[in-house]
Amino acid sequence: MNNAVTGPEPQIAPRERKPLISMRGVSKYFHAVHAVSNVDFEVYPGEVVAIVGDNGSGKSTLVKLLAGVFTPDSGTIEFEGEPVSISSPSVAQDLGIATVFQDLALSDNLSIVANLFLGREYNTRGFLADHQMEDEAVALFRKLKARMPSIRTRVSALSGGQKQSVAIARTMLGNPKVILLDEPTSALSITQSAEVLNLIESLRERGLGVVVISHNLAEVQAIADRIAVLRLGRNIGTFHAPDISYERLVALITGATDA
């Protein structure tokens, strides 16, 4: 058995707060593969929790369990203190869990505002309420402190960071309580990544629980309140971000014993 690197105990959230999401002993198997095994995980209002780990560690499976893409084979999930069965993405959305996957699912040929309201357009007497949607879009980006060009700009003309901002803003129209972000700064420039990190900070300030999957440990340490480390499908520790070094995170992720 590979001994985990010793270090500080997992950060314990204040008892007066209750988690938005709580997973206890959750497992998911794909035939003989234990993608997630006996995992405990939680996220509180107004905090960013990062999930880190090597490829195949179970990060994406864990998020897909919360998003309703997969259902657990064992264990329990609670939302706002009540047991729930997140049996589909629509159930997750109804609960208040929104997910932005890496592909973003944006329509490049449509404008920013059209992407935001796609499938939920406002109508007045059979006509699209364009001005109302545009006004709400401007107000939303202002609240999120996200810099955008004209909301009539086609998504194809946006930078990677701006596209990520549109995808995140679109989830906010459903008034979620938790947002799951899968590699939100992947393949972005330093400037674009900074824009996305500022947006994540804005979500935290608005009291949302934010779960971020990322391979960028420097960004994780800059934005996260707590960091959950997964290895081989298990959560080997959840740590208060300021209390754990970059080197120790790497050692935990890789299973090194000399840190």
Helix (H) or strand (E) segment spanning residue 24: strand 21-30
What average pLDDT does the segment 219-229 reach? Answer: 95
Judge whether 76 lies within some domain: yes
- Kindly tell me if the per-residue pLDDT of 180 is higher than 80: yes
Predicted confidence at residue 129, as pLDDT, reads 79
Residue 183 located in a structural domain: yes
Look at residue 182 and tell me if it is in a domain.
yes
Cα dihedral 159, 164, 167, 172 sign: negative
Q: How many CB atoms lie within 10 A of CB 79?
A: 19
pLDDT at 9 over 60: no
Residues of the domain holding 84: 21-109+177-254
- On whether residue 167 sits in a domain, the answer given is no
Name the pTM for this structure. 0.86
Angle subtended by helix axes 160-172 and 190-205, to nearest 10? 20
**Mean of all residue pLDDT scores within the chain:** 89
With a cut of 60, say whether residue 13 has pLDDT above it: no
pLDDT at res. 125: 67
* 48 occurs within a structural domain: yes
Q: In this structure, what token pair is assigned to residue 20?
A: 């938005």
Q: Which of 122-126, 136-140, 218-222, 246-250 has the lowest mean pLDDT?
A: 122-126
Of residues 55, 18, 56, 11, the one with CA closest to residue 37: 56
Does position 228 have pLDDT exceeding 90, yes or no? yes
Task: Calculate what percentage of the chain has a pLDDT beyond 70.
Answer: 92
Give me the number of domains the chain comprises: 1
Residue 224: inside a domain, yes or no? Answer: yes
Closest CA to 173 of 112, 83, 219: 112
Give yes or no for residue 64 having a pLDDT over 90: yes
Mean pLDDT value across residues 38-58: 95
Please compute the mean of the pLDDT values over residues 92-101 and round it to a whole number.
95
CB-based contact 238:226 (threshold 8 Å): yes
Nearest to 238 by CA among 3, 7, 30: 7
Which CATH number goes with the domain that contains 220?
Answer: 3.40.50.300
pLDDT in tens, 127-154: 677 888 999 999 999 988 888 889 999 9
Q: Please report whether residue 211 resides in a domain.
A: yes
Distance CA 185, CA 192 (A): 8
Quick one: average pLDDT of 57-66?
94
At 20, give phi and psi (nearest 5°).
-70, -45
Within a domain: residue 66? Answer: yes
Q: How confident is the model at residue 259 (pLDDT cuts 50, 70, 90)?
A: very low
